[in-house]
Amino acid sequence: MNLHRKPIPVGEAIQRVMNVPSSTKIEKIPLEQADERILAQEVAATHAIPPFDKSPYDGFAIKAEDTAHATKEDPMTFRVTEEIGAGHRASKPLQSGEAVRIMTGAEIPEGATCVAMFEICHTHEQDGQSYMTIKREMQPDQNIIKKASETKEGTPLVSSGTAVNPGVKALLATFGYSEVEVYKKPVVGVFATGTELLDIDQPLEPGKIRNSNAYMVLSQVNRSGAEAKYFGKLADDFDTCYKAITEALQKVDVLITTGGVSVGDYDLMPLIYEKLGAEVLFNKIGMRPGSVTTVAHANGQLLFGLSGNPSACYVGFELYTYPYLQKMLDRKNPYHPVIDAALGTDFGKPNPFTRFIRGYISYEEGKVVVYPAGMDKSAVVTSLAKTNVLIVLKGGTRGYQKGEGVQAILLEDETGSEEFLLEG
């Protein structure tokens, strides 16, 4: 086996993955089920907002010109003809000298040109008739929210490829999208490989560890908006692995394996890619951890060979699998955003290759500071719980000091980024 793979830069590895064509499938689902799904249609205003002139307050709808010259000393009195709540309409056009008692959100009666708020009106009854008195002048259009003042009919509001959050959901409801077209979730199969792996419900045995990577990756897949399908763990036996992987490929859009991608005697994935006739996009990247992360392409499907090392596996998923899944969902911004931040602590180790440290973000007096989430050993699973960024330490650097500028990749931001602007 070739022990001397040539590493390629992270940016190039990502491009090779993203250049692989993907296809999308669309399904129509009830709005109730659309939370966090990705729209496969543009959403436009099917009507104006508001759809009619409406009142922003509780008050009286009147003709503004009727109040000309109304003062404290010489108030103007109106005959209250009817009362309309939101959802009701005046029964007839309003005439000069008349007032309609109107509630917030109700449609302005025909003929009315302003709304006088309750607070400036005085009411009284006489002979079973209600009257309203006002002591000041009102202007035309005062306290009227004009039809279409927020949105005109036909205005495009949300583009295809957008995730449905509570605000988008409100828009969809407003415009009557009781069903909505969304992209089908890509189905992502997950295998863990390694004879050393125990099931999570098995007691620990000498020389063995429990399978944690698969469970971690299943969560990462779900967090990415795809559908995870767990196929179990595989011992390091070629025939078993080959058979299981070829069968699984029939059932999924994308397949992830953890482990077996290095150059050890039991690292079977390279042999499996070979027998599958898969094109290996890369099998060595200039990064730590995860330098042996491998991506192969067979019959239109991508196989992500993530490292068996937990942190390398985590980083490999977020850098390479995540954006491809977003591409499969036709998202305009498939990448995690890369931002500038200050490093919150010293990091003495030199970085011969670009290093990705699991970390967390902190906002300090308007500035963004990032801290490593724990020890930086690539095998450390305990540092991952707090992680919401990957801190990027450039390759070819001797170490970093607290306060130095670094880049950080935001893992939980939902808006995404159109490009992946990683330096160096």
Site for its own copies in 120-159 (CB under 8 A): 145, 150-151, 155, 157-158
Give the nearest distance from C-beta 279 to its own copies in angstroms: 26
> Which of 60, 360, 371, 400 contacts its own copies by CB under 8 A?
360
Q: Tell me which of 18, 20, 22, 47 binds its own copies, using CB under 8 A.
A: 47
Which span sits near its own copies by CB under 8 A: 133-141, 165-173, 277-285, 392-400? 165-173
Cβ(191)–Cβ(245) under 8 Å?
yes
CB of 423 to its own copies, least distance (A): 13
User: Is 349 one of the binding residues for its own copies (CB under 8 A)?
Assistant: no
Which tokens belong to 228?
A: 């995870």
- Select the span of 10-18, 241-249, 347-355, 362-370 touching its own copies (CB under 8 A): 362-370
Element housing 202 (H / E): none
Coil/strand/helix, residue 410 = strand
Residues 51-80 that bind its own copies (CB under 8 A): 51-52, 56, 58
User: Exactly one of 26, 29, 68, 170 binds its own copies (CB under 8 A); which one?
Assistant: 170
Q: What is the dihedral of CA 81, 86, 91, 96, to 10 degrees?
A: 40
Count of C-beta atoms within a 10 Å radius of residue 111: 16
The rounded distance, in Å, linking the Cα atoms of 99 and 94 is 7
Minimum CB distance to its own copies smaller for 105 or for 111: 105
Give the pair of three-digit tokens for residue 36.
Answer: 């966090």
Phi then psi dihedrals of residue 163, to 5 deg: -80, 145
Q: Token pair for residue 287?
A: 């990064």
**φ, ψ for residue 132 (rounded to 5)?**
-135, 135
CB of 219 to its own copies, least distance (A): 4
Can you tell me which of 92, 243, 275, 377 binds its own copies, judged by CB under 8 A? 377
Amino acid at 115: V
Three-class secondary structure of residue 199 per DSSP = coil
Burial class of residue 375 (count of CB atoms within 10 Å of its CB; 0-12, 13-18, 19+): exposed
Report the chain's terminal Cα–Cα distance, integer Å: 31
Q: Which of residues 14-33 bind its own copies (CB under 8 A)?
A: 31-32
Which residue number, 20 or 380, has a Cβ lying nearer to its own copies? 380
* 339 near its own copies, rule: CB under 8 A: yes
- Give the shortest CB-21-to-its own copies separation in angstroms: 28
How many binding residues for its own copies (CB under 8 A)? 116
Give the tokens for residue 130. Answer: 């209600």
Question: Which of 56/140 has CB closer to its own copies?
Answer: 56
- Give the amino acid at 327: K
If the CB atoms of residues 96 and 165 are measured against its own copies, the closer one turns out to be: 165
- Contacting residue, 384, 394, 397, 422, with its own copies by CB under 8 A: 384
Contact 412, 318 (CB under 8 A): no
x/- contact string, 265-284, with its own copies (CB under 8 A)?
xx------------------
196: contact with its own copies by CB under 8 A? yes
